[in-house]
Structures are given as C-alpha cells and as structure tokens.
C-alpha cells in the first residue's frame, strides 16, 4: 500500500473539515476599534480606513448597538478631542470625549458587551507623542505615569470595563493598577499593549485620529524596535508582574512569531491587534478586485488566532461578524 500517509482523507467533505478544524473565528473573538469625535454633527468618513468613520456620540451608539446584535465580543474607544493641549487634559477630563461616550454606552449595553478604552495621550496633545515632553523635547516617562493613572481612573469612573494602556511607558501598568485599586476600581481590567512595535503600519490610524507627531518625529524611543524578538518577553513579563490581566501583541500578522512566543511564555489571555495598515492593505486590494477581501480577512484573522491570540482587535470586526452570520 503506497502512500501510507493519506491526509487528504480528512479533507474530502466540508463536514469532515469542520469536524477536525483546530481554529475558527467567531464574532465573540473580535473587538472593534471605534473613533468618537467631540463636537461634530455628522460622522466623517476616514479616507485611509474605508468603512470606518469618526463617530458622533449618536452614530457611535447606533454602531455599538449593531455590533452587539452581531455578537461581537467588545469595542475599544479612541477619542478625537475638540481641543488639544501640552498635557493632554482631554484624556483624563471627566467630561472628555471618551468619558462621555463610555457613560452613554454603559447606559445602552451595560456589561453585555465588553466596553474598552484605549489609554494614551497622543490624541490629546498638541505634539502627538504618547507622553508629556521634558524640557529637552524627549518624552518624559515618569512624568507621564500620573497622567495615565488619572486617565485610567476617569475611564473606570465613566464605566470602562477594560482600560488599554498603549503608550509604552515603562511602569505604566503598575501605575494604572495602583491608581485603580486605590480609587475603588479593583474590578477594572487592565489590557496592556505589552508588545507594541514602532511600526509603519500605524499610518492610517494617525489620519483617523488627526495625530501628527511634531517635527516629523517618530515613536522609536518608546515603542519596540522590530529587529528584535527577545525583548517582547521582557515586556510581557514585566506587565504581568505589574498586574496586567491581558497582554497584547501589536501589530498582529507581521508579528506572528512574537505572538507564538508570548502565548508560550504567559498564562494570562493574549490579545492581538490587527492594526490600521493591515486592514487598509486588504481593503485597498479588495476594492481593486485583486483579492477577495472577506476571504482574506477571515484567513488572516484565523492565522492570528492560530498563532496564539485569544481575541483580536480588528477593524474587520463588524464586516466579518456579518459574513459569519450570512
Ligand atoms: C496610541 C495608539 C496607536 C494605535 C493604537 N493606539 C497609534 C500609535 O501608536 O501611533 C494604532 C492602531 C492602529 O494602527 O490601528 N494611542
């Protein structure tokens, strides 16, 4: 009898393939990033992210209701404030754009859907960096931590079930956890953007949130260098030791090796962020008819989960959830 190995036997019918599938995507695995803009009357399309918009409070509530009905696992909010300043005060203002949105969503969906808030200063500061600046123009790590702590408390108070620190300051998770615990928010989950590379794939996002880094600068002095693999584990171990409930790897598809390493190294849930550039590339090729957009999206999301992600932040959340329903 030759050949002895007949793997094709198990691929013969769709039912057999479904039965033995190791990994599959369901809507609950997906978290939709959403942008909410302060003082806008109409939602505004984001050119670099087809299908995504800067929401008004009303359109945000409608969209979250739709995503909830589709069975999507959660949403994560990013704010676009009407005014920016040097210290990013809109991020921790109790009446800041994200806090107002969180309170509204709390009324609408409560805890039926996991409502998260990205926790960073970049959308709120004039210079576009993720922290406050020292007199010499560098990002001041330790001066930024109290502002992150204040943001976490404001977000928790407004009803965020999960806060997601994304600024890559050393010690940010510990500072946030301590502040939350001291203010009676012991149940607020910290999802740390633990492994976040200084990626060119964030380009479309910066347009989405109207962020320009002053002086043509970049984030390489705080986000990770993508030449490196080992420091990813230092970052996740530090965050878990500081109290991270969930760790994240970002971007996702270009970093599947890192995702697999992280999955092996820790026992907390692991999230992955399929970022704006990853989404935009698929959408652009899809619009040209070069690829089947929905099929590629599902294949990529499945690969991200197969590599170790328990759930995925993705701009495809609504679209893929709709596709899975059909
Ligand atoms: C920082 C933040 C960024 C993203 C998520 N949180 C931008 C950055 O680090 O420059 C990028 C997300 C994406 O590209 O989809 N607030």
Among protein residues, the one whose CA lies closest to atom 16 of ligand 1: 120
Nearest residue by C-alpha to atom 7 in ligand 1: 202
79 neighbors 97 (Cβ within 8 angstroms) = yes
Whether residue 270 contacts residue 192, with contact meaning beta carbons closer than 8 Å, is answered with no
How far apart are the CA of 61 and the centre of ligand 1, in A? 22
- Encode the chain (326 residues) as per-residue pLDDT tens digits: 688 899 999 999 999 999 999 999 999 999 999 999 998 899 999 999 999 999 999 999 999 999 999 999 999 999 999 999 999 999 999 999 999 999 999 999 999 999 999 999 999 999 999 999 999 999 999 999 999 999 999 999 999 999 999 999 999 999 999 999 999 999 999 999 999 999 999 999 998 998 999 888 999 999 999 999 999 999 999 999 999 999 999 999 999 999 999 999 999 999 999 999 999 999 999 999 999 999 999 999 999 999 999 999 999 999 999 999 87
Integer Cα distance of 200 and 204 in angstroms = 9
Rounded to two decimals, what is the model's pTM? 0.97
Q: ω into residue 3 within 30 of 0, thus cis?
A: yes
- Ligand 1 atom with minimal separation from the 202 CA: 14
Orientation of helix 256-265 relative to helix 293-306, angle to 10°: 30
Distance from residue 67's CA to the centre of ligand 1 (Å) = 22
Q: Which of 84, 196, 283, 305 is the catalytic position?
A: 196
Sequence spans of domains, the chain? 26-325
Q: Whose CA is nearest to atom 5 of ligand 1?
A: 166
Domain spanning 26-325 has what CATH number?
A: 3.20.20.70
Q: Which atom of ligand 1 is nearest to the CA of 196?
A: 9
């Amino acid at each position: 009898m030759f050949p002895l190995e007949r793997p094709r036997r198990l691929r013969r019918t769709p039912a057999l393939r479904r039965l033995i599938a190791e990994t599959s995507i369901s809507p609950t695995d997906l978290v939709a990033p959403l942008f909410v803009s302060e003082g806008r009357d109409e939602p505004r399309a984001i050119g670099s992210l087809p299908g995504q918009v800067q929401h008004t409070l009303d359109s945000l509530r409608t969209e979250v209701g739709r995503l909830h009905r589709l069975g999507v696992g959660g949403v994560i909010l990013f704010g676009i404030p009407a005014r920016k300043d040097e210290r990013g005060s809109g991020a921790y203002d109790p009446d800041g754009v994200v806090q107002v949105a969180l309170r509204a969503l709390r009324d609408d969906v409560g805890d039926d859907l996991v409502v998260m808030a990205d926790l960073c200063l970049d959308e709120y500061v004039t210079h576009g960096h993720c922290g406050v600046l020292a007199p010499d123009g560098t990002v001041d790590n330790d001066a930024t931590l109290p502002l992150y702590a204040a943001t976490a408390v404001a977000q928790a108070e407004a009803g965020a079930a999960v806060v997601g620190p994304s600024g890559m300051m050393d010690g940010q998770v510990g500072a946030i956890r301590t502040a939350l615990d001291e203010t009676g928010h012991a149940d607020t989950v910290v999802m740390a953007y633990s492994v976040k590379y200084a990626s060119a794939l964030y380009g479309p996002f910066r347009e989405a949130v109207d962020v320009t880094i002053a002086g043509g600068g970049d984030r390489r002095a705080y986000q990770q260098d993508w030449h490196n693999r080992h420091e990813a584990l230092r970052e996740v171990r530090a965050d878990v030791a500081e109290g991270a409930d969930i760790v994240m790897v970002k971007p996702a598809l270009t970093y599947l090796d890192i995702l697999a390493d992280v999955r092996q190294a820790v026992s907390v849930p692991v999230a992955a962020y399929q970022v704006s550039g990853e989404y935009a590339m698929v959408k652009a090729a899809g619009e040209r008819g070069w690829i089947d957009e929905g099929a590629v999206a599902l294949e990529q999301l499945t690969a991200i989960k197969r590599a170790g992600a328990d759930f995925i932040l993705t701009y495809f959340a609504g679209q893929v959830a709709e596709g899975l329903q059909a």
